[in-house]
């Protein structure tokens, strides 16, 4: 069973076909902001492999976002602030809306005004129904302060919505969805925030308290609810559920080897369950979770969320099989055409094999124990080293999008590319499949624990992927730009060392 890695926030809100669609315009005007806007709106120009649209602001801080819309739906608009904060503003759009969204930043504190057609559904007061800042509680071991803050805002939201309806006279469909957002506010936000708290229960003395609160919220608000599919908070909840719940279960199964786990999920003994579990891919287990907790239109949505998430992060194992199951269950689903193209691309890549440009060190490099061993192996060469892992979603994304650009830039220059896979001992077959899948030409090492620890310690690095340069004289230097999307900056750093 493959490991689940840390994930990034992903919001999905799907809609039906664009029959009788009308244009929607959001005219964005910013003051005191330098950067781009981000729109989470996968229903427009639906692409299963991408989940955000980057809106480039002009030199005056302005831009217009345009979409075709056949029925009302939410989108999520955000701006990147220092420290990696992404304030989220959920707009409720209806066909024909033409909004002017003004946001002024003073000391990173935004002041917002919304006008134009559809503004009665989008005044700033209503953003509280779908957003709460819980960042200050991120180090809390106990859930007490977190759930108190969520519950306090939940109570305020009900009052806010009543006053909002009186003052702004929003549309009837907005009112219905706003009350659904109130209903699922606490569960959605608590579920997202508590994600990391469930991965190491043995190190968290308040783990059971976190769990009891989650269970009480799930009892109060059903996780399977076709009637709530138009609610931002509910769809946000189902998206996090299909990411988080399988991850928690798989983590607990690996660490605790619980008889209850194998009885509940495989209906058999621990010994037999272990064999099935070990042979089953992550995506097939997630499918088990979906089928247990969801049905009807909600199950169709969650299947699509799952397929989209794992395409986005390149978790391709058995995803074509899961898609076939999806087509059998929902043969008329509006998601099938777009997914068919993406899944066909995955199938073609899975058919790729190793080639002569993929060089494997003797014994796959498992006998190397120190960075000095690697340097001796690469003697008299300038080497770009990529510390990665088959389990690492950001690593896979980088190998897919950015690594080919770097290799192409240096293809006629005297530089060797070395890829050291970490935490993959025991998974050599999968390791080589991933190398073939992404056509990772270069030299390859499967690091043992000693080599991984030695290199990461000497680089003073903690995460993956991590890149560094080995020079011809045997010295080494960590690449400062660790974000692979900043490809040109990485290239400049490599060139400076040639």
Least confident residue range of 39-43, 223-227, 229-233, 236-240 = 39-43
383-388 and 416-421 beta bridge pairing? parallel
Close Cβ partners of 108 (under 8 Å, ≥ 6 residues apart): 81, 82, 85
pLDDT attached to residue 431: 95
H-state helical runs in 60-171: 144-168
pLDDT attached to residue 135: 84
Report the C-alpha gap between 488 and 497 in whole angstroms: 15
User: If DSSP codes are grouped into helix, strand and coil, which group holds residue 416?
Assistant: strand
pLDDT attached to residue 3: 32
Half-sphere exposure of 371 (CA within 13 A, CB side): 20
- 12, with CB counted inside 10 A (0-12, 13-18, 19+), is buried
Least confident residue range of 295-304, 384-393, 394-403 = 394-403
Whose tokens are 């931002």? That residue is 232
Model confidence at 485: pLDDT above 90: no
Report the C-alpha gap between 383 and 424 in whole angstroms: 22
- 348, with CB counted inside 10 A (0-12, 13-18, 19+), is exposed
First to last CA, the chain: 41
Question: 148 to each of 137, 141, 218, 392, 430, how far by Cα in Å?
Answer: 11, 14, 17, 34, 45
pLDDT band at 281 (very low <50, low <70, confident <90, very high): confident
H/E run at residue 105: strand 98-106
The domains found in the chain, sorted by start residue, are 1-122 (2.60.40), 129-256 (no CATH), 269-351 (no CATH), 358-496 (3.40.30.10)
H/E run at residue 476: strand 476-478
Contact 163, 181 (CB under 8 A): no
Geometric angle at alpha carbon 338, from 332 and 340, rounded to 5° = 80
**pLDDT 10s digits, 110-164:** 899 999 999 999 999 999 999 998 988 988 889 999 999 999 999 999 999 999 9
Close Cβ partners of 156 (under 8 Å, ≥ 6 residues apart): 128
pLDDT band at 95 (very low <50, low <70, confident <90, very high): very high
Copy the structure tokens of residue 223: 């996780």
Close Cβ partners of 480 (under 8 Å, ≥ 6 residues apart): 493
pTM assigned to the model: 0.81
**pLDDT 10s digits, 438-484:** 999 999 999 999 999 999 999 999 889 999 999 999 999 998 876 66
Adjacent-strand bridge partners of 477: 469
């Amino acid at each position: 069973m493959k490991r689940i890695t840390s994930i990034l926030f992903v919001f999905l809100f799907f809609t039906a076909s664009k029959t009788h669609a009308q244009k929607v315009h959001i005219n964005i005007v910013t003051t005191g902001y330098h950067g781009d806007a981000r729109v989470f709106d996968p229903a427009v120009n639906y692409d299963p492999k991408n989940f955000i649209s980057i809106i480039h602001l002009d030199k005056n801080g302005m831009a217009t976002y345009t979409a075709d819309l056949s029925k009302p739906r939410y989108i999520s608009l955000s701006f990147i602030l220092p420290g990696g904060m992404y304030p989220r503003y959920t707009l409720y759009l209806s066909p024909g809306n033409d909004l002017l969204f003004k946001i002024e930043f003073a000391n990173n504190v935004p002041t917002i005004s919304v006008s134009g057609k559809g503004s009665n559904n989008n005044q700033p007061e209503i953003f509280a129904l779908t957003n709460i800042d819980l960042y200050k509680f991120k180090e809390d071991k106990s859930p007490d302060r977190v759930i108190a803050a969520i519950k306090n805002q939940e109570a305020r939201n009900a009052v806010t919505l009543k006053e909002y309806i009186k003052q702004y006279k929003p549309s009837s469909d907005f009112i219905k969805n706003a009350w659904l957002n109130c209903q699922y506010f606490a569960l959605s936000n608590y579920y997202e925030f508590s994600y990391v708290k469930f991965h190491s229960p043995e190190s968290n003395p308040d783990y059971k308290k976190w769990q009891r609160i989650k269970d009480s919220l799930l009892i109060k608000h059903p996780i399977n609810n076709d009637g709530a599919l138009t609610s931002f908070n509910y769809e946000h909840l189902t998206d996090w559920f299909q990411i988080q719940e399988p991850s928690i279960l798989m983590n607990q199964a690996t660490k605790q080897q619980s008889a209850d786990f194998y009885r509940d999920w495989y209906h058999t003994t621990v010994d037999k369950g272990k064999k099935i579990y070990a042979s089953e891919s992550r995506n097939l287990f997630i499918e088990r979770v979906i089928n247990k907790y969801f049905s009807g239109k909600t199950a169709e949505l969650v299947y699509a969320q799952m397929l989209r998430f794992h395409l986005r992060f390149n978790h391709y194992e058995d995803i074509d099989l899961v898609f076939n199951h999806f087509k059998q269950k929902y043969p008329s689903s509006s998601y099938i055409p777009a997914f068919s193209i993406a899944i066909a691309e995955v199938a073609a890549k899975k058919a790729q094999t190793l080639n002569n440009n993929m060089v494997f060190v003797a014994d796959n490099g498992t006998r190397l124990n120190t960075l000095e061993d690697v340097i001796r192996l690469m003697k008299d060469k300038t080497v770009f080293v990529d510390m990665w892992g088959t389990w690492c979603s950001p690593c896979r994304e980088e190998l897919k999008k950015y690594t080919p650009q770097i290799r192409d830039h240096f293809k006629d220059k005297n530089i060797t590319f070395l890829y050291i896979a970490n935490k993959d001992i025991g998974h050599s077959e999968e390791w080589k499949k991933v190398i073939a899948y992404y056509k990772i030409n270069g030299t390859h090492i499967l690091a043992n624990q000693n080599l991984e620890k030695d290199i990461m310690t000497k680089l003073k690095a903690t995460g993956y992927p991590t890149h560094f340069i080995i020079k011809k004289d045997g010295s080494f230097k960590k690449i400062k730009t660790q974000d692979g999307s900043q490809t040109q900056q990485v290239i400049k750093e490599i060139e400076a060392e040639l």
